[in-house]
Each structure stands twice: as structure tokens, then as C-alpha cells.
Amino acid sequence: MPSSLSGGREVGAPLGLKNTLAGRDIISCKDLSREDAELVFRLAEGVNSGTIHLEDTLAGRRVALIFVEPSTRTFQSFYVAARSLGAEVLSIHDPAVSSIAKGETLYDTVKMIEGYGVDCIVLRHPARGSARFVAETTSVPVINAGSGSQEHPTQALLDVFTIKSRLGRVDGAKIGMLGDLRYSRTIPSLCYLLANYNGVEIFFMAPPLLQVRREVELYLSERGVTYRKAMAADEIKEVMPDLDVLYVTRIQKERFPDPTEYERVRGSYVVDAKLLSYGRRDLGIMHPLPRVDELSPEVDKLPNAWYFEQARNGLPIRKALLHLVLGGAG
Amino acid sequence: MSSESLLVRKIDWGTVLDHIPAWKADQVIKLLNLESLKQDPDVSVIVLHNVPSKKLGRKDIVKLYHYMVSEDEAKILALVLPQITINYIRDWKVKKHSPGLPERIVGKIRCPETSCITNVEREPATPRYIVMKEHGVIACEYCDTLLEIERIPDFLVD
Ligand SMILES: [Zn+2]
């Protein structure tokens, strides 16, 4: 990339790799190839180990964070990532006080923000399809930071990065996904990204009401990914010994039309020492956090708990992604 | 003479859409957005309901006088109403048309996912779909939600 794209400051090529993500929209993990993901991972790895310094690579650049949902973690993660790369951050956050709450459309908000000369828009919005819509609205690269229950690509990048660093590989990984797979935005993104790897097997463990959406199944079938659905408690126990990783998501009471149905199933989807006893000793437990009571604190001190490290990986991944999307050297 | 020809005379120029399932002519009217033609002095729309049919028992027929259905429109009609027969009439001569399947559909159909950006009031997002005929569905290009082809009539934009 020309050095002007990295803010006028020559940063050199940290890896000497071709930046395949420069200027691209990051809307869906379906659009990311294995090479795209590996580039982000290698950069994030270098950031983590201190061999790659991305500080000030975005000096003089402007990143807009439009968060039309009360999300704090992802907002903070992007904010700190952009700031530590030296970018100026323009943020529209708390929807309660912003113009969006006053009835401005997302379209108008984006057009207004564009007028400030931003180099990238990071969007969190409750509507599915919002990120693609914004990407079509603006010529500036758009990063999807969560589009309703549809996708959350940067979460999937940090999830697969965590699997790769802990397991040493992603190919052939056997991954159980437990909890609310229907309304979780992280699950589709994770599945789409995993489809780039060879021999991955996915086990969807959820009550029928919260099972994975059909378009995710269709995508996996078309990409030749093996998956299986386990709905009942004893099916889950049966699947446990096969797993390398158990990825847990939160089950929300509001998803059930009948609260007694919620009470009936919730016990089967709590991860505690007892459930872990059915799995392998080195089974890794992941969770996008925040958790409620689906992940017992007794798991925290076990070596199986990968989720705090997983959460820590958010920052290097978002730094690497912002750097690359804004045209930094690969 | 068939009862159909007793009911309405032949047209010399236009499109005759035959073998529409009985009482489903409104789907054709919505798919073709025929109401938008109300200012056009040359176009007349003749709708026949509940006509006896050997093939369907009962059927609807829509005659579009001085209106030629476009190729894109024909493809969408054939997708949503697979039994439909499309006849182009030029100087009384009838030519049966068998359209292929559409690859994409723009507008015409509401996304079934209520939380889709195309269903958010005032946002200028026109729904757009990819047709996945082999799976019997169309997929919203914005939100990925699938809609079974046979359920499309329930989601036609008025
Ligand atoms: Zn949609």
C-alpha cells in the first residue's frame, strides 16, 4: 500500500505480507477467506508478543464509532484499539441522547458522519442487515461490530484466534456450541469463519426453540462442513467427550414464550464442573461474555477456562483489523 | 365455444396470463405492480376469477391489454406461480412464453425477518433477494433470512 494510506508515516511491513483487507468492508465472515483471517491473526500475534508495534500507524486518520445499542465492551475495545493506533475517534454512542433517538435515520446519521471526513465507520446496530446497508450507503470502509442477531465478525476473529493459539490448530477442531444459537450474533460469524478450515466438526447443542438458524446450516452444508444437532440433555453428555472446545452463549428468558419452558431447559445448559466431567481433561471453554449464570464461576480457576484470554484477544485483533482495513502494511 | 371466450373477448395486443390458481390473481397484480399503471391511458387490466379449467379445476386469468410483461417480471411470475402460462399477443397472434428463473429479485417482497433493516421505518433500504431454487428458498441479501418460495405470496408488497 502507498504510505499515504498509513497516515503519512512509513511503518514498514511488519510481516511483509500482502494486505488483502485494505479498504474492504468487514460485514460478514462469509466474505473473509482463510488468508484474510490468518493475516489478522499473525498481526495480532505480533501485537500480543510485542514483536509488532502498530502505535501511530493511524495518526491523522479518523475512525467513526456508531453504536446504536447500549454495548460497552465492544465499543471500548474498538475505542481503545483506534486510539492506541493514533486515530482520532468520532463516536455516536448512547442512543438515548444521540440524534438517532430523536428519530434520525441510520442513513442520515451515516451521511452526516461521512461529511466529517472519516476514514472508516465501525457500526453496531440492532437491525439485521444494517452493516451491509451502511456499506452500500458510504464509500468509506465499514466494519460490522454487531448487526442485530445476524453477525459479529470481529468477535469470530478473536474466537478463532483464541482456538488457534490454545489448540495450536483450527483444522480438524471439534467444536460444541451450547446455549442460544438462534439469537446469538456470534454463532453465525463463528460458523462462517470456521468453514474456511479443513475437517472442522460443529455440534450445535440447544433446545429446539433456540437451535441454529437455517441459513447457517445451509451455508455449512454448501461448504462441506460436518455438523450435528444435539437437543436433549443426554445427547449433550454423549457429545461432550468428542469436543476440543465448548463455546457457550447466554440463554435469555425473554426468548421463551412460556417461562416454565425456560425453567425446564436452563439446567441442561449450565456449564459447571459436573458437565465438564463428561468432557476431555483439556477441553477448552469459551464464552463471548458477559455471562449470567450459564457459566459457573467454579470453572474460572480451571485450566479449561479460556474465556478471559479470549476476551483479552479482542484488543489485538481489533487493532490488527483497523490497521489493515485502513491500508496499513501487512 | 368455451365459457372463457363467452366472458371476455380476445385482445389483439398485450399479455394474457393464464392458469393462475383460482382467486390468486391479486398476487399477479402485486408482483407486476399494476396499480402503478393507473395513469396510463392505453393499458387496461381484465381479471377473470374462478374460470373452469381442465388443468386446475378452477383458475384465474389476467389479461393485460396493451401491456407486455417484461422478461424480469415473467421470471418472477413463473417462480411464485409455477403453473402460470404467459402468452404474448401481437396482432391477434398468440405466442406462448416460457421464462427461465430469476437469479435475483429486487423489491416486490417484504423480508419476513421483522428485525431486518429493510423493515425499519424510513430507512431507504429496498429488499433484495438471491433465488436459491435448488433449496426452494430466496435469501435476503441484507439479513440472510430465508423465505420458502411457496410463502412468497404472504409477503408481497402492497
Ligand atoms: Zn432481510
Q: Of A39-48, A118-127, A220-229, A254-263, which range is least confident?
A: A254-263
C-alpha cell at B142: 441484507
| Two domains, one topology: A29-150+314-325 and A153-312 | yes
Strand partners, A286: A247
Give the right CATH number for A29-150+314-325 from 3.40.50.620, 1.10.260.40, 3.40.50.1370, 3.40.47.10: 3.40.50.1370
CA of A317 to the centre of ligand 1 (A): 29
B120 touches chain A (CB under 8 A): yes
List strand residue ranges (DSSP E) for A11-78, in order.
62-67
Angle between helices A130-137 and A106-114 (to 10 degrees): 40
H or E segment to which residue B73 belongs: helix B71-80
B124 chain-A contacts, CB cut-off 8 A: 105, 107
Locate cell 470456521: which residue? A194
CA of B114 to the centre of ligand 1 (A): 8
Give me the mean pLDDT over the A43-62 stretch. 95
B139 touches chain A (CB under 8 A): yes
- Looking at the partner chain, which of B115, B118, B124 has a beta carbon nearest the beta carbon of A149? B115
Q: Searching chain A, which residue's CA lies closest to the CA of residue B140?
A: A129
CB atoms within 10 A of CB B47: 17
Interface of A with B in 106-165 (CB under 8 A): 106-107, 125-130, 132-133, 147-150
Amino acid identity at A152 = H
pLDDT of A36 higher than 90: yes
Q: What is the pLDDT of residues A238-263, one digit of tens each?
A: 999 999 999 999 988 877 888 888 88
Could you tell me if B67 and B19 lie in one domain?
yes
- Looking at the partner chain, which of B111, B132, B142 has a beta carbon nearest the beta carbon of A132? B142
Give the right CATH number for A153-312 from 3.40.50.720, 2.40.40.20, 3.40.50.1370, 3.30.200.100: 3.40.50.1370
d(CA A64, CA A75): 11
Distance from CA of B109 to the nearest CA of A (A): 16
Q: Searching chain B, which residue's CA lies closest to the CA of residue A218?
A: B135
d(CA B70, CA A320): 49
pTM over 0.90: yes
Strand partners, B58: B52
Phi/psi for A158 (5° steps) reads -75, -30
DSSP annotation string for A3-17: GGGGTT-----SS--
Could you tell me if B57 and B14 lie in one domain?
yes
Computed over every residue of chain B, the mean pLDDT equals: 93
Q: What is the pLDDT of residue A130?
A: 98
Q: What is the pLDDT of residue A97?
A: 60
Higher pLDDT, A239 or B6: A239
CB atoms within 10 A of CB A153: 29
Task: Judge contact between A252 and A294, C-beta under 8 A.
Answer: no
Give me the mean pLDDT over the B131-156 stretch. 96
Could you tell me if B46 and B112 lie in one domain?
no
Give me the mean pLDDT over the A190-198 stretch. 98
| CA torsion through residues A39, A42, A46, A52, sign | negative
Which of A4, A47, A46 has its CA nearest to residue A23? A4
Could you tell me if B21 and B87 lie in one domain?
yes
pLDDT of A317 higher than 90: yes
Give me the mean pLDDT over the A33-40 stretch. 98
Could you tell me if B75 and B13 lie in one domain?
yes
Tell if the CB–CB gap between A127 and B115 is shorter than 8 Å. Answer: yes
A104 touches chain B (CB under 8 A): no
d(CA A237, CA A68): 39
The region, left, alpha or beta by phi > 0 then psi within -120 to 50, assigned to residue A147 is: beta
Under the banding of pLDDT at 50, 70 and 90, the label for residue A1 is very low
pLDDT of A209 higher than 60: yes
Higher pLDDT, A264 or A13: A264
ipTM score: 0.91
pLDDT of B3 higher than 70: no
Tell if the CB–CB gap between B125 and A129 is shorter than 8 Å. Answer: yes
pLDDT of A100 higher than 80: no
Residues ≥6 apart with Cβ < 8 Å to B23: B49, B50, B60
Q: What is the pLDDT of residue B18?
A: 96
B126 chain-A contacts, CB cut-off 8 A: none
Task: Judge contact between A280 and A302, C-beta under 8 A.
Answer: no
Q: What is the pLDDT of residues B78-123, one digit of tens each?
A: 999 999 999 999 999 999 999 999 999 999 999 999 999 999 999 9
Residues ≥6 apart with Cβ < 8 Å to A48: A313, A316
d(CA B44, CA B67): 8
